[in-house]
Amino acid sequence: MTDWVGFLGVTMLWVKAAHVIFVIFLMAGLFMMPRFFVYHHQCPVGSEEDRKWIEREDRLRRIILNPSIILVWVLGLMLAFNGGYWSEGWFHGKLLLVLLLSGYHGWLIGYFKKLRRGERSLSESRLRLLNEVPGIAAAIIVILVIVRP
């Protein structure tokens, strides 16, 4: 019951629930965006279909990815301070992976901007491979948080 100790008190469970909800939204977006890129690569630059993919990717960025990553960070930091996890090894591993996923998010947004300009520097197979990054990171993060090795 030490999770109840801290400035959040009984609201800690609500904050934790919200954190998990927005992690799910973020992960959905991190899985969807590279898949969108694969399909986007299949249409000619400047075509009507190209413009539709740019619009879809922009909506995913604005409506799901960016708000979710902000809320995940805010809620996660609240939980970390509330629980005093800063000195625990499992938390260091989780924090490192979350930082890497945040960098991946930034890279996705950067690649979206390249596609919007008509630049296609990666192959479809490379994009499919990059689509595995969030799943692997999520599996390790869940193990770190639940098992706390």
Per the annotation, binding residues for heme are 19, 94
Of 149, 70, 65, 44, nearest to 112 by C-alpha is 65
The DSSP string of 58-97 is HHIIIIIIHHHHHHHHHHHHHHHHHHTGGG-HHHHHHHHH
Residues 98, 142 contacting (CB under 8 angstroms): no
The neighbour count for residue 145, using CB atoms within 10 Å, is 14
Binding residues: 19, 94
What is the helix, strand, coil percentage profile of the chain, to 5? Answer: 85, 0, 15
